[in-house]
Chain A
Amino acid sequence: MDNPTGPDISAQPAPEPSPRTGFLVVGVGRAGGAITELLAAAGLDGARFAAVDTDSTALGRLRRTENTAIGARLTRGEGCGNDLARGAQSAEQDIARLRKIVEGVRLVCIVAGIGGGIGGGAAAVVARVAREAGSLVLGIAVLPFRYEGPLRHSNASDGLQALRAASDAVICVPNQGVAAMLDERTLVTEVFDAANVMVAQSVESLWRLLHRPSMNPLGFADLERLLRGRHAESVFASVETRGPARAREAVEKLRTHPFLQAEQMLVDADAALLAVAGGNDLRFDELQEVQDQFQRLCEHAQVVTGSAVDPALEGRIVVTVIATRGGASPLAAPQTAMPAQTKIHPANETSAPSDEPPMRFESIAGDDFPTNRSGSKFIPPAPDLTDSQKRDLVHRQIKNKHQRKKTTQTLFNFEVVSVSRFAQTEPVKRNGENLDEPTYARRGVALN
């Protein structure tokens, strides 16, 4: 039988690459920078690496990344001293430079140690900028170790909330989990290195997932579908095994993976993405086994499976899991530092046609780039106005913005803690803490 479609398909030219195919990893703060450096050393092709920090010395140590120092006026090239507001302000100051980094990238992956001032404060701003520029934003928040103290933990919970509000999806990486996995006598430096390597491996596997040729590919679209709008918790884990029983071992490793909180996250997951990659020797039954076992682990989840063959993985199998739990509706999280619905910025000379007015809405600029994004609340429909009307509106907005800034009420950064029941008694003090005050308040545990 003659099949007229056959030759047509083979004759079709390779699809035109869309203008946004880039994969950008932005490391924010010291930890983020270190992880990005590791990734850059691994050399993922087609990916770009950038580091953002206020600390110019720390930035100077990163040799493989595009480094951007921010907040030079505010911090004079020092760190933020664990102050989230300072980190956010530094990023706001240099927002134009941040915009330049994320320009025209399809997927921005923001890696930040969320307990620090820069990681917790600036990461959300970078995410917002990238999202405004039309990228899909994936935040990878590295939570502090337990020993780092209550301040960093409360920073982490605030920073995480801001990052969640600003990005499409956030994946938490609990450092303490890494520590639990290692031998208890491990040196400090080794623990830190292991944590960084683990995050780097996860990001690398994500990149592989998206860029390697595969039989049933998982693309941006799958990732988007899984993560879009789910401001709930997502976890991310990647394991690598070799040997004859590699398929079974891979699932076993996943079950005990520290990022998955000993499979608890899988049990609770309501959607998951499973990507299996192997060398040319990847067998079908292995694929089948991983999928079966995995589906058994997360019974309630809707699992999307993809597989890929990478000749470099000869003899090995790499299984990557992204699982999310919690409702699909975005959390009613507090707004980030600056609500930005219709932000105004000077026209970008390189991309703007010459007949455009000098000032314009970003939403119009957004239309210049073809994008798959749909229904984002950050891009309102372009108003149909004449030039003079536009200018009027711009002026009014600037005025409004100015007024809004003025009336911002500052809050004192302390909480009234009640010891009322014990007010008449001698306080019980241990290790410099007044034990009569509620424990959750002393530890800075946020009650949602």
Chain B
Amino acid sequence: MFDPGQVIVGLEIGTHKICVAVGEAGAKGELTILGIGQCTSRGVRKGEITDTTKAAEDVRTALAEAEQQANVEIQEVYLGITGNHIRCLDSRGVHPIASFDRTISPEDVADAVGNAKQFNCPAEHEVIDSVRQDYKVDDRTGIENPVGLVGGVLEASVHVIQGRTSRIETARRVVQGMQVAVVKPVFNGLASALAVLTPEQKQQGVVLLDLGAGTTEYAFFHGGVLRHSGVLAVGGDHVSNDLACGLRIPIDQAERLKIEQGCAVYDPALRGATHTIPGETGLAPRILSIENLHRIMSLRIEETLDLVARDLAKSDAFGLARAGVVLCGGGARARGIETLVERVFEMPVGRAHTHNVSGPADVLANPEFAVAIGLVRYGAMRLQSRSRSRFDLKSTLQNLFRR
């Protein structure tokens, strides 16, 4: 039974940090964040766990911090999943309307959606989420709710997000090793979209760009439905690595320099500007060229954005996203990133704010917590829809992304 005061926990095992958000859903679906726990991540590269021992230690620390802050005992979590193995695709399912009066019933809809999910999934992959897009009755497209319409053939389209089973299982085991159950793995891109996009934006058309440390996730909504999503396993870590290579400095120094001196756009006016970094372990201080720093950084970020833009162009996002691009993740803090995104996407750009959530202001304003908060929202919506359609267990998730 749905308990109005139930605690929902989202866990994101990120490349730079592990983040736990503890939230509480009210009776009307409003969300309150009770606590946040985080820990610097050591065993994750490009969004995937490479060292389970270190990752487990860090997850434990983060969970403990969240438990303490929210004063709850965490028993189950929604687990954020990302990485190079994620595949997103659209699938269509057709169902002929066989009833005598040719009126579409909820069962017909369920069958069409069921057919849409019957697609060729590679053996080593599993479906993380399938999100209903819209329906087509005979040759009318873009129907949101076909129940009650009259027609011959019903076609449902579903956006399917799948990932490699072994990778998902690795993350799941790490969490389960701490006697915490995983309710469901959720794609990070979807979670952050839930946290920061408003229904109006989704209706108008919007691109969400989550610039993480290890990966860049993106999701495109239009007409209230998820049209396209994906992940590129290139992120802020790559920027740091490029800087470390190009400027010949240690990676941790590169990371610090990126945050303090970095800029996503290359400004020729800075030609000749330098920055002195103090020598470490007895080495002489080094003078670095700010021009090179910015150039390396802007080349990498622009390339990443270019690749994302190219993928989004396949679903015609550039013509339809009238609400522009929303940025979240740590990369959204980079200086000049808005200018660069605007140049590449040719759309208005804004930084993300979590909406319809209450909690500590600093947490909500922080673009880095979008995924964790989104996971809580995902959980809340799932519980809500479950309580509403108790008798129709088949359509638990399908109504989630309709609003």
Contact = CB atoms under 8 A, between A and B. Distances in A.
Interface of A: 264, 417-422, 424-426, 428, 430, 435-436, 438-441, 443, 445, 447-448
Given A428-B233, A445-B299, A447-B295, A438 B46 contact: no
9 contacts: A418-B245, A421-B240, A421-B241, A435-B303, A436-B238, A438-B242, A438-B296, A445-B295, A445-B299
A424 B48 CA distance: 11
A425 B299 contact: no
A427 B344 CA distance: 25
B237 interface: yes
Nearest to B85: A426
Given A428-B84, A439-B242, A439-B300, A421 B295 contact: no
A359 B291 CA distance: 50
B45 A438 contact: no
Given A435-B238, A439-B299, A426 B84 contact: yes
Given A264-B268, A447-B296, A439 B303 contact: yes
Interface of B: 45-46, 48, 50, 84, 232-234, 237-238, 240-242, 244-246, 251, 268, 289, 292, 295-296, 299-300, 303, 307
B49 to A, nearest CB: 11
Nearest to A416: B245
Contact of A422 (B45, B232, B268, B295): B45
Contacts of B242: 438-440
A425 B50 contact: yes
Contact of B45 (A264, A421, A443, A448): A421
A124 B236 CA distance: 41
Question: Binding site of B, secondary structure by majority: helix, strand, loop or mixed?
Answer: helix
Contacts of B295: 440, 445, 447
A420 B292 contact: no
Nearest to A327: B272
Contacts of A448: 289, 292
Contacts of A436: 238, 241
B348 to A, nearest CB: 23
A419 B246 CA distance: 12
Contacts of B241: 418-422, 436, 438
A447 B238 contact: no
A447 B300 contact: no
A425 B300 contact: no
Given A425-B46, A430-B307, A447-B292, A440 B268 contact: no
Contact of B300 (A420, A424, A430, A438): A438
B245 A417 contact: yes
A439 B234 CA distance: 11
Contacts of A439: 242, 296, 299-300, 303
Contacts of A422: 45-46, 237-238, 241
A428 B46 contact: yes
A440 B234 contact: no
Question: Binding site of A, secondary structure by majority: helix, strand, loop or mixed?
Answer: loop
A251 to B, nearest CB: 23
B246 A440 contact: yes
A428 B45 contact: no
Nearest to A418: B245
B84 A438 contact: no
Contacts of B233: 428, 435
B78 to A, nearest CB: 25
A421 B246 contact: no
Contact of B245 (A428, A430, A435, A438): A438
B238 A440 contact: no
Contacts of B48: 425
A324 to B, nearest CB: 14
Nearest to B241: A421
Contact of A443 (B234, B251, B299): B299
A176 B193 CA distance: 38
B45 A425 contact: yes
Contacts of B246: 438, 440-441, 447
B299 A440 contact: yes
A441 B246 CA distance: 8
Contacts of A419: 241
A441 B244 CA distance: 12
Most buried by A among B233, B251, B268: B233
Nearest to B44: A425
A440 B46 contact: no
A440 B296 contact: yes
Nearest to B237: A421
Contacts of B289: 447-448
A438 B246 CA distance: 8
Contacts of A445: 295, 299
A418 B250 CA distance: 12
B289 to A, nearest CB: 8
A146 to B, nearest CB: 13
B268 A421 contact: no
A386 B353 CA distance: 86
A144 to B, nearest CB: 18
A425 B85 CA distance: 12
A109 B235 CA distance: 47
Contacts of B292: 447-448
A264 B267 CA distance: 12
